[in-house]
A and B are shown apart, each in its own frame.
Chain A
Amino acid sequence: QQQVKQSPQSLIVQKGGISIINCAYENTAFDYFPWYQQFPGKGPALLIAIRPDVSEKKEGRFTISFNKSAKQFSLHIMDSQPGDSATYFCAASGGYSTLTFGKGTMLLVSP
């Protein structure tokens, strides 16, 4: 049973455009929702995270939107740049459950 569903599997965005990646979760005990960024040959690194007491968190060009009632959260990358090309993973944890990852989204930002 996949507890965190991520879409799309891959995404191509023009430079300067907005990249949007969506995730949905099932476990209502989850209370921590991070996004990880992974470049080829590297381990995943935390990009931004949110807790359910807020509906949105912004750090620079990266924004998480969180909808607790729908059990969904999304990552928005504004003004996408070629250097943002990477694989992005959403994740969730909480309620004695360790970090559970989505399947990942390969983002390509074309120049």
Chain B
Amino acid sequence: ETGVTQTPRHLVMGMTNKKSLKCEQHLGHNAMYWYKQSAKKPLELMFVYNFKEQTENNSVPSRFSPECPNSSHLFLHLHTLQPEDSALYLCASSQEATRGTEAFFGQGTRLTVV
């Protein structure tokens, strides 16, 4: 248990569905992140929130929409996804986004788009 909880752990969705991934951290951190991990690819940073403000969006398609209502919760809203979006989606948190401190990861949501 890292203090970062992601739900659901597994998700299968059709290309026309709308779903959301949820992340919650109990560490008192101020930065939260979404990463995408595909087979044989590095961890791809998608979004960064620092003190509830989005500070990075690494050219992520608009079918992925993040939401950070407070510093403890982070959502990733999904709609009209493509099969190539199937991957492990990891949430992480750290004390601050730009200072070199440990990032704690959740266990991830394994997403399959059919």
Contacts and interface: CB of A to CB of B under 8 A. Distances in A.
Are A and B associated in one complex? yes
B107 interface: yes
Interface residues of B, number: 24
B97 A103 contact: no
Contacts of A51: 100
Contact of A46 (B42, B48, B102): B102
Interface in A87-101: 89, 93-101
Contact of A94 (B33, B43, B100, B105): B100
Nearest to B31: A98
B105 A44 contact: yes
Contacts of A94: 98-100
A93 B43 CA distance: 14
Interface string B22-35: 00000000000100
A98 B98 contact: yes
B59 interface: no
By secondary structure, the B interface counts as loop
Contact of B42 (A41, A95, A104): A104
Interface residues of A, number: 27
A32 B105 contact: no
A51 B56 CA distance: 24
B100 A43 contact: no
Q: Which 9 A-B pairs have the closest CB atoms?
A: A32-B100, A43-B105, A103-B42, A101-B43, A96-B98, A93-B100, A94-B100, A46-B102, A44-B105
Interface of A: 2, 30-32, 34, 36, 41-46, 49, 51, 89, 93-104
Given A42-B107, A44-B43, A45-B105, 19 more contacts: A30-B100, A32-B101, A43-B90, A43-B92, A45-B2, A46-B102, A51-B100, A89-B42, A89-B43, A93-B99, A94-B100, A97-B98, A98-B48, A98-B56, A100-B45, A101-B45, A103-B42, A104-B42, A104-B43
